[in-house]
Structure 1
Amino acid sequence: MTRVRANDVELGVETFGREADPLVLLAGGPTMLSWPDSVCERLAAGGRWVVRYDLRDCGASTTLDPLAPAYRLRDLAADAAALVDTLGATTAHLGGAGVGGMVAQVAALDYPKAFSALTLVSTRPVAPGPVDDDLPDHDAATMAALFSRPMPDWTDRAAVAAFAADGAELLGNDPEQARTTATRIWDRTPSSEPAVHQANQLGMVFARLDCTPRWRERLGELALPALVVHGRADPFFPVGNGEALAATLPTARLLVLDDMGTALPDAAADTVAGAMLAL
């Protein structure tokens, strides 16, 4: 773990593999731990230099006010492109999970020379908020159950971990993997402020982020190799979002994992890393 400066902000990064190998840059969704160690390790074993990083206002990256971000989605896309240059690479295979997948789409569109391949996990081709008519929205029953739960004490590490494990079952994820990830996110959060812990755990920055203008209509411009990974059991961004995204990208391969919800499971690391290495 370290911090590097790119696009005038400090970004928390973690690396796997040899710096001499081709770069795979993994944008957090919003923290870097949306990319499991198991996937990063498989990619590194396959001859890639893997760098995963926290988005702004998350993890070890510059945190000012996650409840009122003074930047836009386009700035997060610029961070990704600047990070490629800061790391000394010519181009990178860019991956994004969840809201990080939205960052990755815009980055690939706005900075085509910086990226050689694209992997998008558990995401959709429009910003948070109302969806297009052809895209399935969040499963209403799951969202009602998820958000009717009492919030934990965000300064209580064990309570936050238990809250994440409980929510994982609703989201089709492994509760113990979610518990471990939530604990690691809590440990890596540099602030003791409850609002910052909550934002790190729930990705709340994106609910307040300016994501205009739309980019879905531009996705046909992307000619780089692309992989779209989605869980068939995902109730947050149902699988139709991944199917629509893959259909819009000219060269995309769609990989649907039957036992996956919103999060990449460790059990799928070989499959996902193998598909990424094949791009």
Structure 2
Amino acid sequence: MDICDVNGVSLGVEEFGGADAPLVLCLGAPTMLSWPDALCVQLAAQGRHVVRCDLRDAGTSSHGDLESPDYTLRDLAADAAELARAFDGRPAHLAGIGISGMVAQVAALDHPDAFSALTLIGTRPVAPGPVDDDLPDHDQATMGSLFTRPQPDWSDGDEAAEFMAEGARILGDDPAEARDVAARIWERTQDSNPESHRADQLGMVFSRLDCRPRWRERLPQLRVPTLVVHGRRDPFFPVGNAEALAREIPGARLLVLENGSRAVPAADVPEVVAAMSRL
């Protein structure tokens, strides 16, 4: 793992594969560990230079005021474009997962020269907050179970990991895998401040960002090969959000993981890697 200075900030990065291979830039959600190790390793084995990164205010990247971030969604999009250019002079394959899938959409729209392909996993075409009338919103019963739980002591790594494992169980993901990833995220958090740990685990800073202006209406302008991946059982962003993305981005391919929810199941990693490799 390393640090890359771009666009006035420092971003934590990790590389897989040869630096001369075509670049696939995987944006964290918010940390790089939202991208499964196996996916990065297998994609590199397909002849790609995979770089996964922490967003601002996450992991080993630059940190500011977690309660009042002084940057916008479009700044994160610019970070992605500058990071891609720093690693490779050629346009890169940009991949976003969850909240970073929103960043990836805006980055591809705002900086079309920087990107040659787009993968969007488990995301939707609008910012956090009220959803468009034609898009399915969060499953309320699941959200009730997820968000009414007592918060853990975020300064305790074991408590944080158990909380995230239970959240994965509620969402329909693998609790054991979520526990392991949460423990690794906790270890990478820069300081002992409980709010820093909470932000790294839950991506709370993203909900406080200025995400204007809307970008959904611009999606038909995209002219890069696009893969949209989504779990059929996702209760947080139901699959109709992915269907809208695939419908509104010209030529986009939709890959629905029938047994998937929020995370990419380990059993589906080879299929996702194969689909990404074809872009």
> Could you say which TM-score interval applies, normalised by the shorter chain?
over 0.9
Matches within 5 A, 1:207-218: 207-218=207-218
Equivalent AA in structure 1 for residue 147 of structure 2: F
Instruction: Indicate if the aligned counterparts of 1:26 and 1:32 stay in contact, CA closer than 8 A.
Output: yes
Distance 1:41 1:63 in 2: 28
Alpha-carbon separation, structure 2, partners of 1:163 and 1:224:
39
- Report if aligned partners of 1:23, 1:89 keep a CA contact under 8 Å in 2: no
Q: In structure 2, how many angstroms separate the alpha carbons of the residues matched to 1:179 and 1:255?
A: 26
In the superposition, the TM-score normalised over structure 1's length comes to 0.99
> What do the CA deviations read for 1:141-161 (whole angstroms, capped 9, x no partner)?
000000110000000000011
Shift of residue 267, structure 1, vs aligned partner: 1.7
**Identical pairs, percent:** 62
**Number of residues of Structure 1 aligned to a counterpart in Structure 2:** 279
Corresponding residue of 2:56: 56
- Asked if 1 retains the 8 angstrom alpha-carbon contact of 2:23 and 2:88, the reply is no
Q: CA RMSD in A?
A: 0.7
Structure 1 stretches of at least 4 aligned residues deviating more than 4 Å after TM superposition: none
2:19 match: 19
1:145 maps to: 145
Which whole-Å CA distance do the structure 1 matches of 2:8 and 2:240 have between them?
A: 37
1:128 aligns with 2:138: no
Say whether the 8 Å CA contact 1:102–1:125 is kept in structure 2.
yes
Tell me how far apart the structure 2 counterparts of residues 26 and 19 of structure 1 sit (CA, whole Å).
15
5+ residue gaps, structure 2, are none
Gaps of 5+ in 1: none
Instruction: State the Cα distance separating 1:265 from its structure 2 match.
Output: 1.9
**Partners in 1 of 2:90 and 2:7 — Cα distance?**
16
Aligned partner of 1:266 in structure 2 is 266
Q: Which amino acid aligns with 1:174?
A: D
Deviates more, 1:212-221 or 1:263-272: 263-272
Question: Counterpart amino acid of 1:271?
Answer: E
Q: Secondary structure at the match of 1:25?
A: strand
The one-letter amino acid paired with 1:173 is D
Following the alignment from structure 2 to structure 1, what is the Cα–Cα distance between the partners of residues 162 and 143? 18
Q: Which residue of 2 aligns with 1:241?
A: 241
The alpha carbon displacement at 1:269 in A equals: 1.0
| d(CA) in 2 for partners of 1:253, 1:153 | 42
Deviation per CA, 1:200-258: give whole Å up to 9, x if none: 10010111000000000000000100000000010000000011111000010000001
CA distance in 1, matches of 2:27, 2:150: 30
CA distance in 2 between counterparts of 1:201 and 1:67 reads: 15
State the partner residue of 1:198.
198
Q: Distance in 2 between matches of 1:67 and 1:47?
A: 41
* In structure 2, distance between residues paired with 1:113 and 1:174: 38
What residue is the counterpart of 2:189 in the other structure? Answer: 189
